[in-house]
Amino acid sequence: MFDRLFSCPKTIARHRDGPHARARERFLAHCADEGFSHSMLCKMAWQLLVVASTVDLREHRVSVEEIRCAATRPAAFCRRLKHGPRASPSSSQQLFFHVATAWLRFLGRLQKPRTEDGAFTRQITAFRQYMQCERGLSPVTIQTRCERLEWFMASLPDQRRTLHEVTVADVDAFLASKGAAGWSRASLSVLAGSLRSFFLYAQARHWCEDSITAAIEGPRIFAQERLPRGASWEEVQRLLVSSNGGGAADIRAHAILMLLALYGLRAGEVSRLCLDDIDWDREIVSLRRPKQRCAQQYPWVASVGDAVLRYLRDARPRCSHRELFLTLGAPHRPLSSQSVTALVHARLVDVESTLDRRGAHSLRHACAAHLLASGFSFKEIGDHLGHRSANSTFFYAKVDLVGLRLVAELDMGELL
């Protein structure tokens, strides 16, 4: 397999003489059969060489925590990959983690997290079904809450075998550890809310003590305490111009950015768009709004339609997936919401945006602020963005400088 990836005899010998060469070759051959591109297989081969030299495989099982710990040693990448392709430390660490996890899972050497076969699997699964069937929450919310519950259960001492044995001190210690790791007040508040929601559900089913739910407290967050962190409309225009290139990546990015900026879509809504959601004859696009639990139709803006048509004609890979936006490299698969956010972040960095947060949501904020500045009402903006509550739209009143100036200039002398 190595001689199919590399042409230099020294490089081939380096990989063949490395530890666990046969196991690495088997995994690379499996990935090649799955349709991975040649360039990706080369990157994976170099990372596997690092993994085999860094992770201790003498034990029968390797835990995810051991892999994550090994991935945080940037010196190992510079030392061992001096003959391989260069990459930033953060991207190398991410690739290290994903490649190591996939390889060890392929070999059957990856230790399952405690929650996959532990004492709390049944409770988390029941809570997932409750959020999906009875609460009707979005898939992203359900996945996030369950993932954070698994983090919490994995942090518990080994002697905690049932929820009745979990204490408030365990919850406080978990929240404190995340705060020490750099989590913001807002993130900690959401984390505490996720734990509180689970323990309310567990309390109703008599799985835990009644006192634990009331004692879970996160940092206090004041309503509307922050300003919307969105790009200016000038930055959005620069972003759209910079992505209007002729390559497949630019064509795809331009279509995604147009949808985010002009329709104010969320990253997940873009990633879930399917070919069947677009009615080209009636020039209508249908969006599934998980938070509203319904579909919403929009007229197809000509400039957005032209960008999407160009993507379908010149850049979209031919495959059986019905999702609109796909990865450009093999194996072709639908873009995730995280990939959409990463794409926007990279493009905003390229145009030297000064935003602290450069994700897809910053374009949603930019769309709302632009509509407000153009004279649209809060009701119209809320309908356009798919808000369930008017309070979500009032958030943008703090950036309505024209309206705020009118309030400041109001003469209230006769009333004082």
| C-alpha–C-alpha distance, residues 344 and 253, integer Å | 8
| C-alpha–C-alpha distance, residues 71 and 92, integer Å | 8
Which residues are identified as catalytic?
266, 291, 361, 364, 387, 396
Instruction: Confirm if 197 and 151 have CB atoms less than 8 A apart.
Output: no
Residue type, 232: S
Burial of 247 (0-12, 13-18, 19+ CB in 10 A): exposed
Residues 6 or more apart in contact with residue 149 via CB below 8 angstroms? 115, 120, 124, 127, 194, 195, 198
Which residues make beta-bridge pairs with 334?
326
Residue of 366, 368, 360, 361 lying closest to 385 (CA atoms): 368
| C-alpha–C-alpha distance, residues 25 and 37, integer Å | 16
Cα separations in angstroms, 161 against 200, 208, 245: 19, 12, 57
